[in-house]
Amino acid sequence: MNKISPWLSAMRLRTLPLSVSGIILGGCFAYYNGQFNYWVFGFAILTTISLQILSNLANDYGDGVRGTDNDERLGPQRAIQSGAISPKEMMDGIKFNIIFVIMSTMVLIWNAFDSGSILNILLFLLLGGLSVYAALNYTMGNSPYGYRALGDVFVFIFFGLVSTLGSYFLFAHAIDHVVILPAISVGLLSMGVLNLNNMRDIESDTNAGKITLAIKLGKKDAKRYHFALILGAMLVTLLFSLLYYVEPYNFLYLIAFIPLLIHIKKINAAKDAQDFDGQLKVLALSTFLMAILLGVGYILY
């Protein structure tokens, strides 16, 4: 029982709603177009959650063995940092999770495509491999991209484009222009979550030699960048609902704009790491809420 709590903490369960936001949107628009499959949706969610957990464990391992996670860092104490889980135990957990991701991905592909869809099967096997690579190499390896200010790019690609467009393709076996703007919106908000995390850790990351975009920009410009991401996502979503308007339910997502605008106000006033840390959960859950309301707004009739 003593080991369960550190593992649950290392999995960072609070990050999971954000990770499935794109899957929910892709599934909702597939449902709207009459191409929904419950098995595909379930295994898409399961695969995405397992990939996010893999990323979180790998992040704990990479930052832990490098000493980036130390007493200077604010936020929940990490498993390797605290000594609750050894590096070897964490690596074993990572290997087990990779096996689970592979199995889940195979079942997902089996449910999504028939045996004649060779190109689609190969495409999603490739995407699965790239997703595992991205999850592992954010902080692990000889040259992790998270230490070279490239995290924002990968988050936009995998949390936004791959998650939303990829999940829709699993249902429809084609890319529909209708999901492009929602994918961009989710990607921008997910970048906002990462940037918020990086603004919080500017001092500790600088001391540890970890280079993030927030460090390159400096706190003042990192805030401006953050506002551009959040406001950009809101404008893209509003543009989408105007271009693809069907009925008033399509604007349900405006409810999520309330916590997002409050979030912007609080970040504008933020001065220290604690102020940024307190907004991480707010932004992640606001993104999740907006994804649900935007998707549901098109399947209510």
- The verdict on residue 100 lying in a domain is yes
* Structural domain of 149: 4-296
Q: Is residue 163 part of a domain?
A: yes
In-domain check, residue 267: yes
- Residue-level pLDDT, tens digit, the chain, 301 residues: 467 888 888 888 888 999 999 999 999 999 999 999 999 999 999 999 999 999 999 998 888 787 666 555 565 667 787 778 889 999 999 999 999 999 999 999 999 999 889 999 999 999 999 999 999 999 887 888 988 989 999 999 999 999 999 999 999 999 999 999 999 999 999 999 999 999 999 988 888 888 999 999 999 999 999 999 999 999 999 999 999 999 999 999 999 999 999 999 999 999 988 999 999 999 999 999 999 999 999 998 7
- The DSSP code sequence of the chain is -TTHHHHHHHHTGGGHHHHTHHHHHHHHHHHHTT---HHHHHHHHHHHHHHHHHHHHHHHHHHHHHT-SSTT--SSPPHHHHTSS-HHHHHHHHHHHHHHHHHHHHHHHHHH--TT-HHHHHHHHHHHHHHHHHHHTTT-SSS-GGGBT-HHHHHIIIIIIIHHHHHHHHHHSS--GGGHHHHHHHHHHHHHHHHHHHHHTHHHHHHHT-B-HHHHH-HHHHHHHHHHHHHHHHHHHHHHHHHT--SGGGGTTHHHHHHHHHHHHHHHH--SHHHHHHHHHHHHHHHHHHHHHHHHTTT--
In a domain? residue 175: yes
Q: What is the CATH number of the domain that holds 162?
A: 1.10.600
Is the residue at 8 inside a domain? yes
**Residue 301 belongs to some domain of the structure:** no
In a domain, 243, yes or no: yes
Tell me how many domains the chain contains.
Answer: 1
What pTM was computed for the model?
0.93
